[in-house]
Amino acid sequence: MNKYLDNTKVKTDKWKPALLIGSYLLLAALVSGCNPNTEAGDVAAAVDTNSQALKSEKLQPQQLYPEVHPDMQPELAAAGKYKVGVKTLDITNEKYVDLLTNQIKPRTLKIEVWYPADYNKGTPLTSYENETRLAKKFSIQANAVRDAAPLVSGSAYPVVVISHGYTGYRQIMFYLGEHLASHGYIVAAIDHTDSTNEDVDIVNAPFNGFPSTLINRSRDQQFTLDFMTQEKHFLRTVVNTKDAGLIGYSMGAFGALNTVGGCYNFSLEQAGMFTGTQDVKMLPLVQKALNSCAAGQYENPKVDDKWKAAIMLAAWGGQNNLFTHKSLTNIQVPNLFVSGNLDDISGYAGIQSLYEKTQASSTYLLTIINARHNIAPHPAPKEAWGSETDFGHYYESAWSSSVLNDINKHFALAMMDCHVKKQTETCDYLNLSQSSDQVQVDGKLPEPWKGFDTRFSTGLRWQQK
């Protein structure tokens, strides 16, 4: 069970009938000639929405992060010079094929967009509302002003797309959205329809959103980039339309690796196992539909050349060899894999194999010693503390979530500044020794990793090509 559900203990006896029916219709639609992947020109609407949908609950926003001495943080985890605005949008693809009805229907994604903003000191900060896997509503204090005017600075801001796991929600890595925006990026984090905490009944039907996850993760990422770089929206005058980065966690990383060129490689058995399909006549069609490349392409796939960097946090799929070796070898986009060496969901050996097979000239693997799978989420809100199902979505036993978040902020900014903005001096933060531990050699203490203070960077390992 835990092989393909992110770190959750649930019942499984009630999900199968609905999933089987849904997967038949879903995959029949895809192989019948209807293309669920569209160009940004097919977007009919981008509607501003109020992310305070839960405000009637009168939840008190909670501060998840303790005050930290700056010497204890990696250098690039520090906030940038820009003030941060945030806006929630609904973006709609009017020509998307509904995966459960075999009909062309709109597919709407809710996205949270962070950006450099222009507002007066003292303007009230906003909050982020969402719910846990067991539908416990919560509110988180933000470090951004909602619906603030974009800052016109004379230069365009590159786009970074963020993609959550299964299940998840668009603000689960809000710290990266705020951080990158403070350094001059526009960040769009996706609520992947069908696989959010709100969408999935994690107790009674935990796998109902999984076929959609397999099909749509990469497509949603590309669709969001297309919208942010091609459509008319409130940031259209300040967006860099040529350079972008991608960050995915778990199933989001499974999609991200496909988006930048890793072709899926489901066997017949795996196609049946991961979609619930048991009809042997359907299996070849299911397999064919799953095995797409570059965000839903099947013939002569071409990766969007706007993608300049990708970060895969706890990437799922390598443990089951779900990517073709040849396609990984041919990936050209600079990429960083981040994994706990004890990841019990995606499997560290599987993530290592993805790193080893990927042959882009700038390919990196950051290993976090004694970490499992939950290396990306923000710290658990207080509402998650009452249940292992909820708390286990966030908690790492050997690491503080806030420390992990700072590590992610540091390396995310290094990757984006080096490979998206082409700030070559920042690339030095990615040229590291194999261990951060500074163990003495012949009585001499090695230099710390660039950006880390002496003695305060233990427990990390680095590989690069």
Q: Which whole number is the average pLDDT over 162-169?
A: 99
Comparing 45-49, 63-67, 273-277, the range with the smallest average pLDDT is 45-49
Residue 167 preceded by cis peptide, ω within 30: yes
Question: At residue 290, what is the residue type?
Answer: L
How far out from the chain centre does Cα 125 lie?
24
In the predicted structure, residue 11 carries a pLDDT above the cut 60:
no
Which pair of tokens denotes residue 50? 């109020």
Counting residues of the chain whose pLDDT is more than 70, the rounded percentage is 87
3-class DSSP assignment, residue 452: coil
Confidence tier at 101 by pLDDT (50, 70, 90): low
Comparing 71-80, 98-107, 243-252, the range with the smallest average pLDDT is 98-107
CA atoms of 23 and 211, how far apart (whole Å): 6
What pLDDT is recorded for position 191?
99
CA atoms of 288 and 38, how far apart (whole Å): 19
In the predicted structure, residue 2 carries a pLDDT above the cut 80:
no
In the predicted structure, residue 42 carries a pLDDT above the cut 50:
no
Q: Which whole number is the average pLDDT over 459-463?
A: 99
In the predicted structure, residue 52 carries a pLDDT above the cut 90:
no
Give kind and range of the element (H or E) at residue 97. strand 97-98
Phi and psi at 142, nearest 5°, equal -100, 165
In the predicted structure, residue 31 carries a pLDDT above the cut 60:
no
In the predicted structure, residue 41 carries a pLDDT above the cut 60:
no
What pLDDT is recorded for position 97?
72
- Cα separations (Å) of 343 from 310, 316, 462? 20, 10, 16
Q: Decide: 311 and 376 in contact? Cβ < 8 Å.
A: no
Q: Is 297 left (phi over 0), alpha (psi -120 to 50) or beta?
A: beta
Q: What is the mean pLDDT of the chain?
A: 89
Domain 16-464 homologous superfamily, CATH: Alpha/Beta hydrolase fold, catalytic domain (3.40.50.1820)
Which pair of tokens denotes residue 14? 């009630």
**Angle, CA of 378, 366 and 142, to the nearest 5°:** 20
Q: Decide: 86 and 146 in contact? Cβ < 8 Å.
A: yes
CA atoms of 322 and 270, how far apart (whole Å): 9
Q: Which whole number is the average pLDDT over 127-156?
A: 98
Which pair of tokens denotes residue 130? 């969402």
Confidence tier at 49 by pLDDT (50, 70, 90): very low
Give me the residues paired with residue 84 across strands: 116
What pLDDT is recorded for position 102?
66
Which pair of tokens denotes residue 237? 């005058």
122: CB partners within 8 A, 6+ apart: none
